[in-house]
A and B are shown apart, each in its own frame.
Chain A
Amino acid sequence: MSAITTPRVRRGTVRTGITLSRRAGMVFVLPALALFSIFIAYPLLTALSYSFFDWTGIVRGGFVGVENYVTLFTRLPYRDDLPNAFVHNLLLFVGAMVFQNTIGLGLATLLHRIGRFKRFFQTMYTLPYLVSPLVIGYLWSLMLSPLFGPVNAVLRGIGLGELAQPWLGNPQTAIWVVVVVTAWQWIGFPVLLYGAALGGIPQEIDEAASIDGASAWQRFRAITLPMLLPAIGTVSVLTFIGAMEAFPIPYALGGSQGNPAGATDVMSLLFYRTAFESGSSNAIGTSSAIATLLFLFIFGISMLITWFMRRTERKLF
């Protein structure tokens, strides 16, 4: 969405002396500012500071510098769980990106051309995106159930019975179920966003290129794709954030332990488990260190993708 748009104050619009005074402006902003400060800004800043202290239950001990971070990388189970969960988050990102920029982009391009049923198809593709990810996760866990699951029943029905298996019980397949279900749920968003971006491309350019003898593929490559770059950038950043924050779908498919055997574990589950289920006396210190690392990673990489997309755009035009 708005992730990469900085506030654009249109200078020159507000030129007269009719603007709000600073004081009146403050009165208008105050309720939102209070709510934002208390429930977002303050907890966020505090959370980062938690990771530098030693904790005993909910009592804060002394300042320990980066010791909690050292724990994460040297002590079990964190030493094993952290890279395991992190790789799964990356798989979620890559899986969703591949799905969105092939099937998603294809659907958006086709939808852009047809007139009839456009709304209908948009609705069909967007519905899973709006349904609660937790409901989606549980729904798929029922559908993939080894005994009565409709998915295995369909496979047996079309003669692919040997493919039928306990999808979520097998550590080899479980993570791919999470990746595919997540990508399947998210596809409506790129379809809509790419659709809106395609609608914004002036048709004259395409027509002119067509008259000059450019093939459909050439036109897509040289006109449509570059004009879609801002949309692709927005979708990439949001997909990245979503993949790193993944929680309800893995929770519904593998529980808070990331069953089977940590095969569906992700960073948010690790954080949740460490903070609320580990029973370790320094649960707050360790989990805050996980949160801080994740926070910096999400923020840093989102910035990097944004910067990279802006640079590519500048080179193109």
Chain B
Amino acid sequence: MTATITPDTSTDDSTDRGGTAPSRRAGRRATVGGVASSTFLWLYAAISIAPLLLMLSNSLRTTQDMAKQPLGLPLPPNFTSYGKAWITASFDTYFFNSIFVTVASVLLSTAVSLLAAYAFARTRSKLFTTLEGVFLSGLMLPVYLAILPLFFMLDAAGMISNLWGLILVYGALGIPFSTFVLASFFRQLPIELDEAARLDGAGPFTTFWRVHLPLVRPAIATVIVFRFVPVWNDFFYPLILIRDQSSYTLPVGITRFFGEYQTDWATLFAGLTLATIPLVVLFLLATKQIVSGLTAGMSK
């Protein structure tokens, strides 16, 4: 790496001379560089998106068509494999289970994290600093390795194959990230707000509910949207905690479906597309929240 730091003489020349020559040269170089860099950007965009487009396109073709012609356009589009995946392969059940689990657990973790984050931002005692540190450690620890005790605990409570068991687990798993983002937002709100509310006779909960909550709405949106993605995609927990096929969420449903429909390519592609559509829609509608969730650690 260090070997390449030789002074770029051409740049030195152009700054020394002045006049029209350097600017022309700079302009030309920028164009060559510009073409190269936009080629790179477009090329990688194609590499990034082509497999997903292929998934969509193949879901609209028949298996026979794919066997004859591995690459081809879905003309005319054929939607029968969606019907097959949705009804025959029980994707309707998986899909609604996934929606239910995702929505309920994201709401649960956001609600409890809002309360906790508010306390972390508005207390000074060492106890709360420690607790916040413990919650945050959940971001770095491989907590999924605790699956065996979790399995026994839910089994003892009769909650294996119960979607509520999964919701509680995901609700807990969302706490580290949600409190982290929300607490940093609450901390930015001036303490004068609390003083004013207190003078008007509001208690801690009223202050939280009527004054702070409306002000942290953007952070709530980030937390909700951003937690949606890992919960919707998670495969590990339902693989172990859900044994009953009627309670499968989409990712576990897909593994079963891949075993059963091995040769029915069109239906396989349709199933994968169905599991992906909600995320793509969410991303296009809430790009801002997703991006701010991904970069949450950078804003300090």
Contacts and interface: CB of A to CB of B under 8 A. Distances in A.
B258 interface: yes
A278 interface: no
B45 A125 contact: yes
Main secondary structure of the interface of B (DSSP, over half): helix
Contacts of A216: 8, 11
Contact of B115 (A28, A39, A138, A157): A28
Interface stretch (B17-25, B73-81, B83-91, B164-172): B164-172
Interface residues of A, number: 118
B42 to A, nearest CB: 8
A121 B41 contact: yes
B295 A193 contact: yes
Interface string B160-193: 0000000011011101010111010001000100
B195 to A, nearest CB: 5
B116 A124 contact: no
Contacts of A36: 134-135, 138, 172, 175
Interface of B: 4-5, 7-8, 11-12, 15, 37-38, 40-41, 44-45, 47-49, 51-52, 54-55, 66-67, 70-71, 108-109, 111-113, 115-116, 118-120, 122-125, 127-129, 131-136, 138-150, 152-153, 168-169, 171-173, 175, 177, 179-181, 183, 187, 191, 194-195, 198, 204, 208, 229, 232-233, 235-236, 239-240, 250-251, 254-255, 258, 265, 268-269, 272, 275-276, 279-280, 283-284, 287, 290-291, 294-300
Given A1-B296, A7-B120, A106-B40, A295 B142 contact: yes
Interface in A1-53: 1-10, 13-16, 18-22, 24-26, 28-29, 31-33, 35-36, 38-44, 46-47, 50
B135 to A, nearest CB: 6
B51 A32 contact: no
25 contacts: A3-B140, A14-B191, A16-B191, A32-B115, A32-B116, A35-B168, A36-B135, A39-B173, A40-B173, A123-B283, A123-B287, A126-B290, A127-B280, A134-B255, A142-B268, A150-B54, A153-B71, A189-B294, A196-B295, A215-B11, A241-B142, A268-B236, A271-B145, A299-B140, A299-B141
Given A29-B128, A110-B37, A248 B251 contact: yes
A270 B39 CA distance: 42
A100 interface: no
B139 A187 contact: no
B17 to A, nearest CB: 13
B123 A18 contact: no
